[in-house]
């Protein structure tokens, strides 16, 4: 894969992308990531007239273009945000750093739901949908959200001063006890103003705030299932924020092991999701993410459907990476 920005105005960016078959794609992307134009002379215009492999190559070019603009211009063009590799990895690091009690608080419902299939004494967090045809047709999903603790960044002192000017308290016990229902519209405006001021200061000083990222909340548990006609359904759940999640964890029915083992598995699953993003835009993943195992469900399906890919989920796959791989049980731990 290769790319080049060919033009830019106040609404969009034009790119020339070469896919892994050396086929050129001319793509236009708006600053919010929306693709407003895609021309490729080699492949048919309609998806129904392309082979499955050609459709995937088309999608690779679009994903690569979005990520290329993000890297070159800094615009938030990777959509949906849950597939952004840096966000996924930040979630992975945050989950890996949780104590066992904290992990149980955030992910205990998912853990109990999976354990209940092998242990009838474990109470399920949610009922199994009556319309689900079998356990094999079920996935369990949790949305995960990041937040920023500015006191854990290089701008900790400045953040404290900015908060004080807006009448806000950044003390950990105060923040931990807050809920969205407790915040008035006026306080919300103060938080937004303080956040914007801190962001502008970080941008001016060229300071990386990523070390202050931490887990801000998770959704309750959703079930994703197929009915008798093969139609997909997603059950309702509560989300702590009115925005897209920074990642999600979507697992089939499986043996989660002990709680510490499950936390390690979630870490590995998120690392595999990072791998999946790079693979599905036609790139070799960074070295720490050249690992095998289950990550993103849609990616796992494509690995078994398309000859374009090795099966990155198979722990015994020997052709996954050009220069070898770390191993199915290895990968980044922090």
Q: Which residues have CB under 8 Å from 250's CB, separation 6+?
A: 139, 140, 141, 224, 296, 297
Confidence of residue 85 (pLDDT cuts 50, 70, 90): very high
Q: How far apart are CA 171 and CA 275, in angstroms?
A: 37
110 has a pLDDT exceeding 90: yes
Closest CA to 142 of 66, 59, 239, 229: 239
Task: Give me the pLDDT at residue 70, please.
Answer: 96
Task: Give me the pLDDT at residue 295, please.
Answer: 97
Task: Give me the pLDDT at residue 332, please.
Answer: 67
Task: Give me the pLDDT at residue 252, please.
Answer: 96
104 has a pLDDT exceeding 80: yes
Structure confidence by residue, pLDDT tens digits, 2-33: 999 999 999 999 999 999 999 999 999 999 99
Confidence of residue 331 (pLDDT cuts 50, 70, 90): low
Task: Give me the pLDDT at residue 205, please.
Answer: 74
The reported pTM is 0.87
51 has a pLDDT exceeding 80: yes
Task: Give me the pLDDT at residue 39, please.
Answer: 97
Report the chain's mean pLDDT, rounded to a whole number: 90
- pLDDT higher at 103 or 228: 103
Task: Give me the pLDDT at residue 169, please.
Answer: 76
Q: Report the range of poorest mean pLDDT among 42-56, 92-106, 224-238, 277-291.
A: 224-238
Token reading at 212:
């202050």
Task: Give me the pLDDT at residue 326, please.
Answer: 54
Beta bridge mates, 39: 26
Task: Give me the pLDDT at residue 121, please.
Answer: 93
Q: What are phi and psi of 64, to 5 degrees?
A: -60, -40
Q: Which position has the token pair 């392309």?
A: 50
Q: Which position has the token pair 């474990």?
A: 122
329 has a pLDDT exceeding 60: no
Enumerate the domain spans of the chain. 2-79, 80-150+211-334, 154-208
Region 264-275 average pLDDT = 98
Task: Give me the pLDDT at residue 175, please.
Answer: 59
The Cβ-side half-sphere exposure at 188, using a 13 Å CA radius, reads 7
Q: How far apart are CA 43 and CA 33, in angstroms?
A: 23
62 has a pLDDT exceeding 80: yes
Region 288-304 average pLDDT = 96
Q: What are phi and psi of 316, to 5 degrees?
A: -105, 5
124 has a pLDDT exceeding 90: yes
Task: Give me the pLDDT at residue 181, please.
Answer: 60
Cα–Cα distances in angstroms (integers) from residue 191 to residues 85, 169, 188, 211, in the given order: 27, 10, 5, 20
Region 97-117 average pLDDT = 97
Q: Which residues have CB under 8 Å from 260's CB, separation 6+?
A: 100
90 has a pLDDT exceeding 80: yes
Task: Give me the pLDDT at residue 160, please.
Answer: 82
325 has a pLDDT exceeding 60: no
The Cβ-side half-sphere exposure at 135, using a 13 Å CA radius, reads 9
Q: How far apart are CA 170 and CA 156, in angstroms?
A: 10
């Amino acid at each position: 894969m290769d790319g080049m920005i060919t033009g830019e105005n106040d609404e969009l960016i034009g790119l020339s992308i070469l896919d892994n078959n050396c086929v050129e794609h001319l793509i236009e992307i708006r600053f919010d990531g929306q693709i407003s134009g895609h021309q490729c002379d080699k492949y048919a215009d309609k998806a129904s007239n392309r082979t499955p492999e050609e459709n995937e190559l088309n999608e690779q070019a679009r994903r690569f273009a979005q990520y290329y603009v993000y890297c070159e211009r800094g615009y938030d063009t990777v959509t949906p945000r849950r597939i952004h590799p840096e966000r996924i990895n930040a979630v992975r690091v945050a989950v890996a750093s949780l104590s066992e009690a904290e992990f149980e608080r955030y992910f205990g419902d998912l853990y109990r739901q999976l354990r209940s299939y092998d242990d009838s004494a474990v109470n399920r967090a949610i009922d199994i949908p009556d319309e689900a045809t079998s356990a094999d047709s079920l996935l369990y999903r949790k949305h995960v959200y990041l937040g920023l603790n500015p006191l854990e960044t290089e701008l900790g002192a400045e953040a404290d001063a900015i908060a004080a000017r807006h009448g806000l308290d950044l003390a950990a016990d105060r923040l931990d006890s807050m809920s969205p229902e407790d915040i008035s519209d006026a306080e919300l405006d103060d938080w937004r103003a303080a956040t914007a001021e801190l962001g502008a200061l970080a941008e001016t000083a060229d300071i990386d705030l990523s070390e202050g990222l931490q887990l801000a909340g998770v959704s309750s548990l959703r079930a994703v299932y197929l009915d008798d006609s093969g139609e997909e359904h997603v059950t309702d759940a509560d989300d702590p924020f009115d925005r897209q999640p920074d990642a999600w964890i979507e697992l089939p029915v499986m043996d989660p092991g002990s709680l510490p083992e499950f936390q390690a598995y979630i870490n590995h699953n998120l690392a595999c999701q990072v791998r999946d993003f790079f693979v599905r835009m036609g790139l070799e993943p960074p070295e720490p993410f050249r690992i095998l195992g289950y990550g993103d469900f849609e990616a796992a399906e494509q690995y078994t459907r398309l000859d374009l890919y090795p099966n990155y989920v198979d722990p015994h796959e020997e052709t996954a990476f050009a220069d070898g791989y770390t191993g199915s049980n290895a990968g980044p731990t922090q």
